[in-house]
Structure 1
């Protein structure tokens, strides 16, 4: 029970860091451009994960032996996965960062969280069926987006549109991670993806933004928060906590990222919300929760597994009884 509470607490802290990072991203662009901010934060994230990888590697060798080596096939898969994730992350985070120039941090948090709905929808194209709760969530989210983003004349502002597109890209990013993560070391792949994303974002940074050293130094607080805490620490906590956490509970807790984004933007940036926008936020959040509730089939399957495990334990006890 203590371990469960600890894991849920770590996931809650992860959601808080990710949600409040929207404030750091918005504040950082008062000094540097979106590609500069993305490039530097991702490179910082990769740098922070290097000592984590070293520490975890030493622990693994102490358990499995000093002569443990990574296979060439695993190393190749690791780099392919890291590069693919890095490309998707570069596109998604760039759309998100540019969108923050035209929309509020709180609204960006809710719209970005739509990736939780997009992931199962994209799964339909690879043969995975979406249940009725997913489709209900999509419908509820569309209504929420209407109240949150659509102004008079049925127009969506540029920043909101970029956030919605970024949610689709982040959904692809999650599916890529889902494919490669079981095959490789998650922390190492994360480090590679941050490195790739940082390098890719550095290209438009050098071509179009050409940041001055003084401007980068002025943005050091948002950069450190988004790079060290959001990229490095939060991801590591997620990996550690989800090893022993119930997936549904974990995803529900992490979806609080959108709530924390709205709260921190209100508290720190003093962003105001109209009643119409608050109603839209509530609908989007309800859609996210609805999409992650386990289906009856899943609950029945878990119940059967629990009963089977119980029967096995009873039989084992009978054999062990003298």
Structure 2
């Protein structure tokens, strides 16, 4: 989970930067098709079967978790800042908890509700919705992407519970489905021509190999081993780390209220994960 958080936190900066060289759907399609190619190569090298998991659920996961989530977030970045779009995308845990309750019967405990409340308060302090948050379309796209990711998360958990597919195989096949869907969208939506330079190639390589292939595979392992509520709320470490990275790398000093929000999110993560102080 920690490695996933680090990889995804930096990827939001990369996703914003590459829009200077390519359209949102062209980049998203290339990112996930290349990421899928890396995962299928890993399947071959490890001697695993290329047979897909149950196809219907896998297609739904790919359309929600890869195509809809990534396409909508990349589109939102055209008019919105990377930080705010990332924060709005990470309303995902709150949608995921509700969907897991409805679809999986995964009823949150009082400790989970406490953690969600603390995390929600922290997220509000970081986003500061009472200030300008960019265009309404960008905000709507980012939140809708978070809902799509939540649906993909719950569908993935349900597939693990019912069929126990190979994690690497599921990640590869759902990413291929999402990448093909994004490629079809890219063919029909007018976009700027791709500028193939070192900056774009470097951003594409990071996004495809690390932020897509490696991170989504790790995320599937997390979903396999943890409850939907714990995994989803733990992902809130990504926007927190994004704010801190922007402070260290881009010298974007967080406001006092943002620091308070980070503290609340961290308290929420501790509550949900069940970390307790014990006396001997």
Scaled to the shorter chain, the TM-score interval is 0.7 to 0.9
Q: Note the alpha carbon deviations across 1:150-173, whole angstroms, 9 max, x for none.
A: 1359x7753444333322221111
RMSD of aligned alpha carbons: 3.4
The corresponding residue for 1:199 is: 180
Q: In the alignment, which residue of structure 2 is the partner of 1:222?
A: 203
CA distance in 2, matches of 1:14, 1:99: 22
8 Å contact 2:89–2:142 — kept in the other structure? yes
Give the number of the structure whose residues are more often helix, by fraction: 1
Asked if 1:136 is matched to 2:124, the reply is no
Shift of 1:240: 6.5
Please state how far the C-alpha of 1:32 moved relative to its aligned partner: 1.2
Q: 1:85 to 1:247 in 2, by over 3 A?
A: closer
Task: Give runs of aligned pairs for residues 85-124 of structure 1, distance below 5 A.
Answer: 85-89=61-65, 90-124=67-101
Q: TM-score, normalised by structure 2?
A: 0.79
* C-alpha distance in structure 2 between counterparts of 1:138 and 1:241, whole Å: 19
In the other structure, the counterpart of 1:52 is 42
- 1:276 is displaced (CA, Å) by 3.0
Please identify the structure whose Cα radius of gyration is greater: 1
Q: Is the 8 A contact 1:48 1:228 kept in 2?
A: yes
The alignment's TM-score, normalised by the length of structure 1, stands at 0.70
Residue 294 of structure 1: how far off its partner (Å): 7.7
Shift of 1:42: 0.4
Determine the structure 2 residue equivalent to 1:234.
215
Q: Report what 1:83 is aligned to.
A: 59
Contact 1:48 1:232 in 2 (8 A): yes
Change (3 A) 1:231 1:41: same
Specify every segment of 5 or more residues in structure 1 that has no aligned partner in the other structure, as ranges.
Answer: 1-10, 59-68, 296-322
Residues 78-102 of structure 1 deviation map (CA, whole Å, 9 limit, x = unaligned) = 3223211110021111222222233
Instruction: Establish whether residue 208 from structure 1 lines up as the match of residue 189 from structure 2.
Output: yes
State the Cα deviation string for residues 43-69 of structure 1 (Å, max 9, x = none): 1110111121012225xxxxxxxxxx8
Separation in structure 2 between the aligned mates of residue 144 and residue 239 of structure 1, nearest angstrom: 26
How many angstroms does 1:194 deviate by? 1.3
CA 1:203/1:119 → structure 2, altered by over 3 Å: closer, same or farther? same
Q: Which runs of 5+ in 2 are unaligned?
A: none
> How far is 1:246 from its partner?
7.3
Instruction: Tell me, in whole angstroms, the C-alpha distance in 1 between the residues paired with 2:53 and 2:273.
Output: 30
Could you tell which deviates more after superposition, 85-94 or 269-278?
269-278
